A = this chain, B = another copy of it.
Amino acid sequence: MTPHTDEGPLVDDIAARIRARIMNGELAIGKPLRQAALAAEFGVSRTPVREALRQLQNGGLIEMQPHRGAVVRVPAPWEVRQAYEVRAELEGLAARRAATRITERQLAELREHNAVLHEAAEREAGGSPATTAANDCFHTVVCVAADNPWLSRMIDRINESFPRNVSSLALAGDERHRLENIRQHEAIIEALTARDPDRADDAMRDHVISSGEHLTAWYERRSQTVFHG
């Protein structure tokens, strides 16, 4: 199963694969992760798996208790809000920088990604991998246009701390939220097209904060279900 095409250290490969499993929901939130099981699944020994798990712990995606194993982390709702406040600040900065640097080509890409989202919003539920990917790409393009690798890295770190399928699920059920999302993207594209750093910054902040509020609300509902139901 994806037999490890030798590209760099094994442990990074393993970490990436485990992260992917968590991101797409294959390894559900709260699920315990057995080193032996993962090692067997990937056809390697426990050593690189252990190191990979530690990497993921460092990134905040899982929790490890000594001698008790690792579990996919369950973020508290207020943590989501805190993280998204930071994300808003960083993505705002990215948009600000992008406004004076983005190319016509990249602007076209943004419109393309948003068109995919718009089309999907009318047709299906919205939680599909395609829409998740389009959403990711939208933000990635802005980051690339911002042309600051450190900034991109920091934003990535935040995103990698929350399972992606959860963010999608939060979008999935709410038609109104999806349309709001698309309109916010449009506002960002407009500001970038106008090469207006202040407006781009504001538009991006609004967008991220609003997403964060929806996600926080989702986690709050989920916490109630899990802990009291």
A interface, CB within 8 angstroms of B: 8-9, 11, 47, 50-51, 54-55, 58-59, 64, 66, 79, 82-83, 85-86, 89-90, 93, 148-151, 154, 157-158
Contacts and interface: CB of A to CB of B under 8 A. Distances in A.
A11 B93 CA distance: 35
A212 B7 CA distance: 35
- Number of this chain's copies in the complex: 2
Contacts of A148: 82, 85-86
A59 B153 CA distance: 11
Contacts of A51: 50-51, 54
Contacts of A93: 85-86, 89
A86 B90 contact: yes
- What 9 A-B pairs are tightest by C-beta distance, nearest first? A82-B150, A83-B150, A89-B93, A82-B148, A86-B150, A86-B151, A51-B51, A86-B154, A9-B66
Contacts of A55: 54-55, 58
Contacts of A158: 150, 154
Given A9-B64, A86-B90, A157-B157, 13 more contacts: A8-B66, A51-B54, A58-B58, A79-B150, A83-B150, A85-B148, A85-B151, A86-B93, A89-B93, A90-B90, A150-B158, A154-B157, A154-B158
Contacts of A79: 149-150
Contacts of A9: 64, 66
